[in-house]
Amino acid sequence: EVQLVESGGRLVQPGRSLRLSCRASGFTFGDYTMTWVRQAPGRGPESVGFIRTQALGGTAEYAASVKGRFSISRDDSRSIAYLQMNGLKIEDAAVYYCSFSRARPYWGQGTLVTVSS
Amino acid sequence: DIVMTQSPDSLALSLGERATINCKSSRSILYNSDNKSYLTWYQQKPGQPPKVIIYWASTRESGVPDRFSGGGSGTDFTLTISSLQAEDVAVYYCQQHYETPLTFGGGTKVEIK
């Protein structure tokens, strides 16, 4: 059974950093591009960025709203994707999900990031 | 990036009525190699993550009631709820996963009149 479990979300002050993790199981993690999606309260989902497989270069791309502040990495040996968030802003507050697509998209349950002083 | 445009923003219907939600992509999301449109419909209820109800534009996810159906191909898609039930009150989103970055429609809020 495919499972994605996000963790690491918490309350953090503006300007601080946070690292989220996404632990995957039930599929060959290294074969899939992994995407981080966030959803702010009352808003629709938004792709934050994604990381390609090693076969495709292992490079990451980011939404304009987070470029230069967020970075995505992956550890295929442990089936984990990471989202490093630096310089957090109030508007980064959201539930963060990891996702991949195999015929259909799969999502985790999400982890809540609150940004407040 | 592929832009997904969803309409209407909200819908209020009586129980048993038919609900139709539209989604349009700015470019075709049909893969010629498998003739499938990489369009997913989600249902989201308060406090829950989005739940896949339709993928490949028209394939119903296991366990989803058959009053939900998806149609369309290429750039124009619809989600239909044939007979609206109280438990269908939710926000519905379309999403393309034809290419990264994944992009979403703005959502349609379905309520009971």
Residues of A with CB under 8 A from a CB of B: 33, 35, 37, 44-47, 49-50, 61, 63, 95, 97, 99, 101, 103-105, 107-110
**DSSP 3-state of A23:** strand
Answer whether B104 sits within 8 Å of A105, measured CB to CB. no
- Closest to B50 (Cβ–Cβ): which among A50, A63, A107? A107
CA distance A50 to B77: 25
pLDDT digits over B94-111, tens only?
A: 999 999 899 999 999 999
- Partner-chain contact A105 B93, CB within 8 Å: no
CA dist A98 → A63, A103, B73, B96, B108 (Å): 15, 16, 27, 16, 23
Share of chain A above pLDDT 90, in %: 97
Tens of pLDDT, residue by residue over B21-49, are 999 999 999 998 989 999 999 999 998 99
Helix, strand, coil share (%) of chain B residues, nearest 5: 5, 50, 45
Cβ A47–B103 below 8 Å, yes or no?
A: yes
Look at A110 and B50 and tell me if their CB atoms are within 8 Å: no
Q: What would the mean pLDDT of A21-43 be, rounded to a whole number?
A: 97
Closest listed residue to residue A43, CA positions, set A106, A95, A115:
A95
- For residue B110, how far is the Cα from the chain centroid? 12
Mean pLDDT, chain B, whole residue set = 96
Average pLDDT (A35-39) is 97
Nearest one of B28, B60, B25 to B41, comparing CA atoms: B60
